[in-house]
């Protein structure tokens, strides 16, 4: 469904064929809110960004929700937490693989390249806003009804009608909770590596 079709479907439920109580801008805003929420919750829109860096700093694209992989000159970079990054960088030691963290809305790579290198960043992105009548949501068609449910429940909530609860339930059904901002600060996935304990180094120990 394109934007004008989505609008008409929303107004049909609102019983506002003349569009006197709800203006088009409001309905479009709700449809875009629903599209953004679904895209972020379900991580449906994957994208690849490319560019170059000469100092190891890569600006985070505004549309990026969270990164899933990063490569420098076709070599994979491992995302790590801040403690691991600073443990290597503060001591000047070299990690077994190039590492990266997020700081101040920038990907910082260590060791930093000494020349200009290409990078390829992959991750989940936010959708483009629906503005023109023929714009079609970037979400799969089977999720378009959820956009309608979202816009309808927001409109009915504004109207003060108790009908909003039914549409809110239809929208939320089977959806995961929305992510927190931490996914942008901690790209991944991180690798969990079990550390040996004191009993593991003792050949005569017995694990209970």
Q: Please state the three-class secondary structure of the chain as a single string.
A: CCHHHHHHHHHHHHCCCCCCCCCHHHHHHHHHHHHHHHHHHHCCCEEEEEEEECCCEEECCCCEEEEEEEEECCEEEEECCHHHHHHHHHHCCCCCCCEEEEECCEEEEECCCCCCEEEEEEEEECCCCCCCCCCCCCCCHHHHHHHHHHHHHHHHHHHCCCCHHHHHHHHHCCCCCCCCCHHHHCCCCCCCCCCCCCCCCCCCCCCC
Residue of higher predicted confidence among 206 and 15:
15
Q: How many domains is the chain partitioned into structurally? A: 2
The reply to whether 56 and 115 lie within a common domain is yes
Q: Is residue 13 classed exposed, middle or buried when 0-12, 13-18 and 19+ CB atoms within 10 A define those classes?
A: middle
Range of the domain at 79: 46-120
The reply to whether 60 and 108 lie within a common domain is yes
Q: Is the pLDDT assigned to residue 192 strictly greater than 50?
A: no
The reply to whether 140 and 163 lie within a common domain is yes
Per-residue confidence (pLDDT) for residue 119, from 0 to 100: 98
CA distances from 95 to 87, 109, 143 (A): 10, 11, 44
In a domain, 71, yes or no: yes
The reply to whether 52 and 109 lie within a common domain is yes
Per-residue confidence (pLDDT) for residue 200, from 0 to 100: 55
Per-residue confidence (pLDDT) for residue 185, from 0 to 100: 67
Mean pLDDT of the residues in the chain: 89
Structure confidence at residue 54 as a pLDDT band (50, 70, 90): very high
The reply to whether 52 and 103 lie within a common domain is yes
Q: What is the mean pLDDT of residues 21-27?
A: 92
The reply to whether 113 and 69 lie within a common domain is yes
Asked whether 130 and 35 are in contact (CB, 8 A), the reply is yes
In a domain, 201, yes or no: no
Q: Whole-angstrom Cα distance, residue 161 to residue 155?
A: 9
Tokens 């991180």 correspond to 190
Per-residue confidence (pLDDT) for residue 208, from 0 to 100: 52
Task: Tell me the per-residue pLDDT of 62-79, one tens digit each, with 9 for 90 and over.
Answer: 999 999 999 999 999 999
Residue of higher predicted confidence among 22 and 204:
22
Structure confidence at residue 187 as a pLDDT band (50, 70, 90): confident
The reply to whether 65 and 116 lie within a common domain is yes
The reply to whether 61 and 30 lie within a common domain is no
């Amino acid at each position: 469904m394109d934007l004008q079709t989505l609008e008409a479907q929303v107004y049909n439920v609102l019983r506002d064929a003349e569009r006197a109580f709800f203006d088009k801008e409001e309905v479009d805003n709700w449809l875009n809110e629903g599209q953004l929420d679904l895209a972020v919750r379900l991580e449906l829109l994957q994208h690849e960004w490319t560019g170059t860096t000469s100092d190891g700093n890569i600006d985070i694209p505004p549309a990026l929700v969270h990164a899933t992989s990063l490569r420098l000159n076709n070599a994979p970079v491992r995302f790590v937490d801040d403690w691991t990054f600073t443990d290597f960088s503060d001591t000047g030691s070299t990690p077994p693989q190039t590492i990266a963290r997020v700081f101040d809305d920038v990907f910082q790579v260590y060791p930093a390249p000494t020349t200009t290198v290409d990078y390829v960043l992959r991750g989940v992105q936010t959708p483009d806003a629906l503005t023109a009548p023929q714009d079609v949501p970037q979400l799969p068609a089977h999720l378009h009804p959820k956009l309608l449910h979202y816009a309808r429940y927001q409109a009915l909530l504004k109207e003060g009608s108790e009908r909003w609860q039914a549409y809110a339930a239809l929208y939320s059904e089977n959806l995961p909770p929305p992510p927190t901002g931490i996914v942008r600060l901690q790209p991944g996935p991180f690798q969990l590596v079990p550390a040996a304990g004191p009993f593991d180094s003792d050949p005569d120990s017995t694990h209970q």
